Every structure is written in structure tokens, then in C-alpha cells.
Structure 1
Amino acid sequence: MTAPAVRIRPSSVGARRIRPGRVLLNLAALVVIVCAVFPVYWMVNTSLLPSSATKTATPHLWPDQFTLRNYATAFADGGFVAALGVSVSVTLLALVVSLVFAFLAAVAVSRFRFRSRKTFIVAILVVQMIPAEALIISTFRVLDSWALVNTIIGLTFVYVALVLPFTIWTLRGFVNGVPAELEEAAMIDGCSRTGAFWRVTFPLLAPGLVSTGVFAFIQAWNEFVFALVIMTRPESQTLPIWLRSFVQVTKATDWSVVMAASSLMAIPVIIFFLLVQHRMASGLMSGAVKG
């Protein structure tokens, strides 16, 4: 009698084939990441080089002539701290006010049926299509009649008006993605309508609030045109207007100092994202979990 033949199966790891489509997608993703990260790297790299190194025909791909003099020059201007305070105050106020009103509007549009509901949704899209530059003169005249020019409150009103349509439309998609049956199930368990919303629905909407807040923060933080027109005094300028002061017509621009100032301007945005990014992930796992 002969022993039965034993068939040796190749391991699943060795038998796994490399798909060309997946390799191409990974390469495309790598190219996109490099294209997105390289400008930031080049900004930081230029800020660490002396001005003479940035004016040569040979590019410096790394800070081989490392120096922090550009950051000292940017700080020596004296306007960074004041501009930082104005930008932080205006951006945070606009962020909080816009998120509160946008959240209430998104819940009302998504959860309730009322007259002119579709008209309100279409109006949000129409407002977003209007160029903001077309409203500069009328906005300035209104703020000037209210004595709100060169004030944080006046610029906050403008930023809320700019950010609010985007936040309403974005949060409306998040609210629509949460089934209303979850609230109904909580109400059957004994919760009130308000309690069901805050205990079940709101935790599921937390990632949407955080992600929308990040985009709204960046939009208000980097706004330039309205801040240039409304905040005309040097002590009331925001960081984008302060950054503009390093680009002068009467003399050559020191791009190393400009890049150093740009790096300083980007630091608060990075800190804000680091503070809220973990809530974007943790909020996805909270919500409709009873216990």
C-alpha cells in the first residue's frame, strides 16, 4: 500500500498577488501627499536660510546655512503679538457664533418640515455663489454707520456672515446621516425628545461639528480682503494684514523673512488642529451605544 499524496498548499501570504491597480493608486496617493507637503516644507526651509541663499540660482533643498535671524526680524517688527491677539479673538468668536447658529439651522432643516424649507436651502447655495468682493463697499458702509470699523465685533459680524452658509450646508449633511429612528428608540426607552437628541444624536454629530469647525477656523483665519478694508489701523490689523507689511513696493522683498512670518502664522492653526483632531476619531465611536 502506498501512502496517499499530500498536497502542499502555498501560504496565503505567498499566494497573494500584487494588483497593478492598487500599486498605481498607492503611487498616485504618494504623489498627492508630496505635492501637498512640499510647499509647507519649502516655506519652513526658506525661513531657515539667509536672504543671500534664497537669491541664488542654485536651490537649497535643505537648510544647509541654518539661521534663526529671519524669525528674530519678524518678531522685531513688533506687530506680531498684537495681530495674533486680534486674529485669535475674531476667529474664535466667529467660529463659536457660526457653529451655534449653523447647528440649530441644520437641525431645523433636516429634522422638521416647514413652509419655505426648500427655499431656505436654495438661498444658502445662492449666497455661497455671490462673490464676497462684491459686498465690500456695502459692508463697509453698514459697519461705518454702526461705528464698528476697526473693531473686533465688526469684523466678527463679517466673518460670521462669510462662514455661516458653508457651515450650515456642511452640518446639514451630517445631520441627515444620523437616522431619526435612533431618537425614536431613545424616546421609547423613556427619554424626552430633548434628552434623546442630546444623549444619542449629538454625540454622533460631534465629528461633524469638529471637522466643520476646522474648515471654518481656517477660512476665517486666512481671510484677507475684508480685514484689509475694515481694519485700517495698524494696532487693529490681523495676521494676514501684518504679513503683507513685509512685502513693500519701495524695496526688494526679503522672502526669507516673509516665509518666517508665514511659518509663525501657521503655528496657531496647527495647534488648533492638534487639540481637536482626536475628537474627530473618538466621536465616531460614541453615540448610539446604550450602557
Structure 2
Amino acid sequence: MKKNVRKLSFFEKIAAYAVLIFFSLFSIYPILVVFSISLRPGDRLLSKSLAIIPPDFTFQSYVDLFVNQPFLRWMFNSLVVSISVTIFAVVLAATAGYAFSRFKFKGRDASMIGLITTQMFPVTMLLLPLFIIMIRLGFYDSYWGLIIAYAATALPFTVWQMKGYYDTIPYSLEEAATIDGASQFTTFYKIILPLALPALAITSLFSFMTAWSEYLVAAVLIQDKDFFTLPLGLKMFSSNMEVAWGLYSAGAIVVSIPVVLLFLSLSRWLISGLTLGSVKT
């Protein structure tokens, strides 16, 4: 039997909290370093000072990022693509996962194996097929090219994740609703989906992050600077000869904010979604 944290002795609690604090600081420190670099004047990467806030700090990098660089355009492009991918992935994963969980049809097992098999190959293997497909569809250098590519990348995991969660919901709930005269769609929409909110939260977060921070696929499918997303735009701050460390660091800090806000807004459902929690009645 595992010990309950509330029953730990005083010294065991001290040791547990010390370990947690250590690893928390270990995780946060790189972010603080990046923030510190963004406050340094010029493009200084190295400094003798260990202070997080430099004595001669300045917010000029942030001002230049929003005023002198097309950063807002890159952010708009990323938001359009990421939100679209999230909507498509949530809708398709919610319905496909339900179909795999509740219905038996020819090719069901083969389809599920095919979905999970795609996760075994690196993204680099998909670049050439995606490139050819998007050109033939006329979606190269467009929002639709990125949306389709990212949604296709996110769906295998999200479909399996939703299917696993639906499996934990008793089928007796649907049988009771059917006896009461509810249609299949009404049962799914009004009974199953509300119970699956934790899994939908995980699906939303994973889909958004897949599109928000991806660089490699975007670098292949997008050449027009008007459609550059944030990863492509931030890459412009570096070259073979020099890197604008101030702008690069400031951009990295700003880019992380939407993901953190999304994580905090969904944190209510994340733990139960990750552990495929129990059914609420």
C-alpha cells in the first residue's frame, strides 16, 4: 500500500517538499535565464552577473518585437492555424473515438492499428508526401495546408485517447437514455460528451500545442512571409553569422504565454483526463 501524503511524518514531509521544490526550480531556471536575456541591452547572450533582472535592464527588445517586427502578424497566423486545428481535432477525435468505442464494424481493428502505427514514424518521413499532397490540392503556402497537416498529425493520438476515455463510461447510461426515448445523437451530445470533458480538455491542449510550436512542417509548407507562423518568424532572428538574442528571447517568452494560459484554463480537467478518471453522475 502506498502512503497517503497526509500521513507522512514531519521529516518525511520536509524531504518530499524539498525534492519537489528542487525539481520545480530546476524546471523554472531555464525560463528565468531566457527572460533575463530578453531584458539585457543589445544582444548580449553571456553576462558575469547572476541576477535574473540585470542592473541595466531594458524592455527595448519587447518594444522592437511588437513595433519594428511583424510579430503580431505571426501571432495572428499561429492563432488562426492553432485554433482551427484544435476545433477540427476535437470534433473529429470526439466522434471517431466514440465510433471506435461503441460500434463494431468491418475494418475497425485494422483502422485502429493503422492510426497508432502512424505514430511510430518520425515527422521527417511525412514531409515529402505532405508537400506533394498540398501542392496537388492547391493548399501549398496557405492556412489550409498547415491546418490539414497539423490535424492529421494530432488525430492518431487524440482518437485513441478519446476512445480510451469512452471505454470507461458505462454503456448502461446510453441504454437508459435509449429506453427514455433519446436518439443516438442526443445520447452522445447530452450524456456522453459532458462526461468526457476531461478527455476533451487533453485533446484540445495537445492539438493546440501541436500546431502552436511546430516548425519543421511549417518550414516545408510555407514560403510566403505573409503566412509565417511564430516558429518561422522567430527563426528569422537567427542567421549563420549572428543571432538577435534579445528579440529571440523576448519572442520565446511571449510565445509561451498563450500555452500557459490555455493550460491554466483547462487545469480543472487535466488530471482526470490524463488518468482517464471516473464517471461522474
Same fold (TM over 0.5): yes
Partner of 1:271: 261
Q: Is the counterpart of residue 254 in structure 1 residue 247 in structure 2?
A: no
Instruction: Give the direction of change, closer, same or farther, for the CA distance of 1:19–1:123 in structure 2 (3 Å limit).
Output: farther
Q: Gaps spanning 5+ residues in structure 2: where?
A: 1-6
Runs of 4+ in 1 over 6 A off after TM superposition: 281-287
Q: Is the counterpart of residue 142 in structure 1 residue 143 in structure 2?
A: no
Paired residue secondary structure (1:94) = helix
Q: Which amino acid aligns with 1:42?
A: V
Instruction: Give the direction of change, closer, same or farther, for the CA distance of 1:178–1:17 in structure 2 (3 Å limit).
Output: closer
Q: Is the counterpart of residue 112 in structure 1 residue 103 in structure 2?
A: yes
Q: Is the counterpart of residue 125 in structure 1 residue 119 in structure 2?
A: no
Q: Is the counterpart of residue 187 in structure 1 residue 178 in structure 2?
A: yes
Paired residue secondary structure (2:133) = helix
Partner of 1:164: 155
Q: Which amino acid aligns with 2:23?
A: V
For the 8 Å contact 2:43–2:244, the answer to whether it is kept is no
Q: Which moved more, 1:214-223 or 1:277-286?
A: 277-286
Q: Which amino acid aligns with 1:262?
A: A
RMSD: 2.8
1:83-94 map, 5 Å: 83-94=74-85
Paired residue secondary structure (1:195) = helix
Partner of 2:220: 229
Q: Which amino acid aligns with 2:211?
A: A
Instruction: Give the direction of change, closer, same or farther, for the CA distance of 1:19–1:44 in structure 2 (3 Å limit).
Output: same
Instruction: Give the direction of change, closer, same or farther, for the CA distance of 1:254–1:60 in structure 2 (3 Å limit).
Output: farther
Deviation at 1:164, TM superposition (A): 0.8
Deviation at 1:192, TM superposition (A): 3.8
For the 8 Å contact 1:206–1:280, the answer to whether it is kept is no
Deviation at 1:53, TM superposition (A): 5.6
Q: Which moved more, 1:48-57 or 1:236-245?
A: 48-57
In the comparison of the two structures, how many residue pairs are matched? 273
Q: Gaps spanning 5+ residues in structure 1: where?
A: 1-15
- State the distance in 2 between where 1:63 and 1:56 align: 9
For the 8 Å contact 1:49–1:63, the answer to whether it is kept is yes
Normalization by structure 2: what TM-score? 0.86
Give a deviation string over 1:219-238, Cα, whole Å, max 9, x none.
11001001111111111111
Pairing partner for 1:41 from 32, 35, 44: 32
Instruction: Give the direction of change, closer, same or farther, for the CA distance of 1:25–1:184 in structure 2 (3 Å limit).
Output: farther
Deviation at 1:249, TM superposition (A): 1.4
Instruction: Give the direction of change, closer, same or farther, for the CA distance of 1:145–1:36 in structure 2 (3 Å limit).
Output: same
Normalization by structure 1: what TM-score? 0.83
Q: Is the counterpart of residue 55 in structure 1 residue 46 in structure 2?
A: yes
For the 8 Å contact 1:199–1:287, the answer to whether it is kept is no
Q: Is the counterpart of residue 207 in structure 1 residue 232 in structure 2?
A: no
Instruction: Give the direction of change, closer, same or farther, for the CA distance of 1:52–1:231 in structure 2 (3 Å limit).
Output: closer
Deviation at 1:262, TM superposition (A): 0.9
Partner of 1:8: none
Q: Which amino acid aligns with 1:99?
A: V
Pairing partner for 1:81 from 31, 53, 72: 72
Give a deviation string over 1:188-221, Cα, whole Å, max 9, x none.
4454443333232211101210122112101110
- State the distance in 2 between where 1:204 and 1:278 align: 14
Instruction: Give the direction of change, closer, same or farther, for the CA distance of 1:108–1:246 in structure 2 (3 Å limit).
Output: same
Deviation at 1:48, TM superposition (A): 1.9
Deviation at 1:185, TM superposition (A): 3.1
- State the distance in 2 between where 1:37 and 1:148 align: 39
